[in-house]
Structure 1
Amino acid sequence: MSTESSPESGGKSLFSLQRRERLMEELRAHGAITVRDIAAKLGVSELTIRRDVNILADEGLVSRVHGGATLPSPLDRSTAGRTTSHSYSIGMVVPSLDYYWPQVISGARGEAEVQNLRIVVRGSAYDAADNRRQVQALLDTQNIDGLIVAPDMGGEHGKELLRWLNALPIPVILAERRAPLEIPAHKLEWVATDHAFGAGMAVRHLWQEGHRMIGCLTDSTSPTSPHVVRGWTQAMNALKIPLEKSIHEDSAKLDNGDRAKHFDRVLELCRASGTTAMLVHSDTQAVAFVQHCVDRGVDVPGSMAIVGYDDEVAYLAEPAISAVRPPKSYVGKVAVQLMAARLAEGRMRPVHRVDLNPELIVRESSVGAPRVVMEEAL
């Protein structure tokens, strides 16, 4: 990555995008700039500033004048009717290209076309070190102007990754992630689904269907699960369902044999506690749990009502599974909208952090069946 930069950053130079943002800020503040003055202010050569002015003029953002630039004038015919390629290039790093994230990418690409932005996508893993490698590859090879990323934030490596992202000299938007309070990520913006709200919707739906003991089955390796658990806990407390008697089990890193034993244990806990409904994250896990219930003679939804989370494959189960559906496409769309606004307005724009509500898709697995005590069903 090349750096060329400002006096206030200790002699290291600004990225080209940062310089052009500074030029635009000076123009918005004063109406005009001179090459000599702005070069001295930014600590770069006059030739560098002339190149920046030429780029901005070619994009129709400024009007060239002798020795400097002004904001575009309707009398400047040199920019009239000019067609340009994409105005900015945005890097996007996501942890999966085959589950959940394709819809996020699709939403981002659709909005990028509207905003005349170029999106460069790289797949990564749920691993902070790989996240950083993929971001660095974009910075080194693609000359990107902004970054949309869904980083792994677990452990010290995840925290260090967030600090590094926060220090990058280009705008960074987190997708489906929020920086924890202990990381002073004052520059990072984000758009994320309110998964706790979605879990609360699922619990209240099951309550309205007559269930009074509602369990939660999650995967602790997923960045979403802590929010689902928080929403489940909050809703249970609000409904005065005793948490100390409720089932909350972790299904992380189970192969097929261990999963069957694990699900048997969950069903045994359900029998012992009188639990008749479960919120399961993710819905691939919910599909497996429904199949296990059927194999064990536990009727769904008669003896066990189930709501999944993610709504990627829940509709494929038999019976079809009710599921909380995050607005995945809109996460990508809003992330690009935030990035476009940041690139257009520069540092004058306050940091934005957006929560989006999911929706509950009600299907056969959670409604329309008489309540049967589990002991009777077995």
Structure 2
Amino acid sequence: MRQSVEERQERILLLVKERGSLRVAQLADELGISAVTTRRHVEALAEQGLLRRAHGSVAWPDAPAADPAPLPGQQRGAASSAVLGLVVPAAYYYYAEVIRGVKAAANAAGARLVLGISDYRPEEDAAQIASMLDTGVHGLLLTPNWAADTPTAEEEGRILGLGVPTVLLERRAASGSAAAELDRVCTDHVHGACAAVRHLAGLGRRRIALLARENTPTAGYVATGYRTGLAALGLTAPMTAAETAAAADFEARLRRIPDLVADGRVDAALVHTDTDALVLLQHLQARGLRVPEDIALVAYDDEMAALADVPLTAVAPPKQALGEAAVGLLLSRLAEQPGTASPRRHLDLLPQLHVRASTRVAAEG
């Protein structure tokens, strides 16, 4: 017979009172329900002051919480290293280097890393985080899949209610919001796009186009940097807003660039990402247009730009350094003594411009 919510919660209270403290995962096994459902019951009871939660365990209010599970090779009761959870959208392309940086910094500090991949699905964010909390991570590094550049109220509430120190990685919350008070480490993509525009203008290019898909967390910052860079140099975008709206489909805008180059309306382009920059290069070559003589190209991300037929100049976010810096922030937060708290930190790292053949010849000419 299926138990009611009240019956499950009563059973949880009896088990915890009897044993003093338990892992949430242990509770789930004993109740025969999922860890996610168990966590929901525990959270409800903790809000009423009937239980106490800490690092994936639950305790009777006057009993100590269960110690985190020992690391491999450690005896229970021995001093254990921090256990850090990292949730990112993917383990390839951009995030492979970020993961490498997190792993290197965690290893150097003697911390254990637990990795979760969300596959760009918001519901998987929640599942990965819940699993990590149940296994007792001490802190979290998160790149959540927010539909917009900043979280909704519901998404913000979930992040703020995790109960462990959390650092956002390549995600920003709007200034003034509660989530903006979290520590974060990000690439300054506005600066990166500005640097690309300055570089192209320095080559004498005045008709600089932007090609960026609108459905990525980075695109908005790249677009802001592009517009800021043009304005600082007294330049205007070669495509009007009406023309851009008329070709709202990204692939259609990309295919139109060779026509604009042939007509003399575009002589340079900043393209986010590398993959789309490579596709544009192929379209240009198919029309007999030369890079960089007819059009100078700068890619954004620098994952595979150097492998192009004409190696592409690219803006390179400091991906590995991002991961290393995020671990540093989280470990610093974990090391704080109870009752003390240093100011929250927002760390922006500047990307670098790697100049290659897609702009170099024009500079020499």
Corresponding position of 2:280: 289
Corresponding position of 2:49: 11
Call closer, same or farther: CA 1:146–1:158 in 2, change over 3 Å. same
Corresponding position of 1:206: 200
Q: Which amino acid aligns with 2:170?
A: E
1:165-206, Cα deviation, whole Å (9 max, x unpaired): 122111111111111236421542110000010000000000
Judge conservation of contact 1:95–1:126 (CA < 8 Å) in 2. Answer: yes
1:361 counterpart (330, 354, 359)? 354
Is residue 220 of structure 2 the alignment partner of residue 226 of structure 1? Answer: yes
- SS across alignment from 1:15: strand
CA RMSD of aligned residues (A): 3.4
Query: Alpha-carbon deviation of 1:275?
Result: 1.5
- Structure 1 unaligned spans of 5+: 20-41, 60-82, 373-378
Query: Alpha-carbon deviation of 1:14?
Result: 4.2
Corresponding position of 1:325: 316
1:298 counterpart (274, 289, 293)? 289
- Structure 2 unaligned spans of 5+: 1-23, 25-38, 72-76
Call closer, same or farther: CA 1:281–1:190 in 2, change over 3 Å. same
In structure 2, C-alpha distance between the alignment counterparts of 1:358 and 1:14, rounded to whole Å: 44
Judge conservation of contact 1:194–1:357 (CA < 8 Å) in 2. Answer: yes
- SS across alignment from 2:327: helix
Q: TM-score, normalised by structure 2?
A: 0.76
Aligned residues: 315
Judge conservation of contact 2:270–2:297 (CA < 8 Å) in 1. Answer: yes
Is residue 87 of structure 2 the alignment partner of residue 93 of structure 1? Answer: yes
Aligned ranges for residues 14-25 of structure 1 at < 5 Å?
A: 14-17=52-55
- SS across alignment from 1:185: helix
In structure 2, C-alpha distance between the alignment counterparts of 1:17 and 1:336, rounded to whole Å: 18
Query: Alpha-carbon deviation of 1:95?
Result: 0.6
1:236-262, Cα deviation, whole Å (9 max, x unpaired): 0000102475689699986xxxx4x54
Q: TM-score, normalised by structure 1?
A: 0.74
In structure 2, C-alpha distance between the alignment counterparts of 1:332 and 1:252, rounded to whole Å: 35
1:150 counterpart (132, 139, 143)? 143
Is residue 209 of structure 2 the alignment partner of residue 240 of structure 1? Answer: no
Corresponding position of 1:80: none
Corresponding position of 2:174: 180
Judge conservation of contact 2:208–2:238 (CA < 8 Å) in 1. Answer: no
Judge conservation of contact 1:220–1:252 (CA < 8 Å) in 2. Answer: no
In structure 2, C-alpha distance between the alignment counterparts of 1:12 and 1:296, rounded to whole Å: 72
Call closer, same or farther: CA 1:286–1:190 in 2, change over 3 Å. same
Query: Alpha-carbon deviation of 1:350?
Result: 1.8
Judge conservation of contact 2:273–2:299 (CA < 8 Å) in 1. Answer: yes
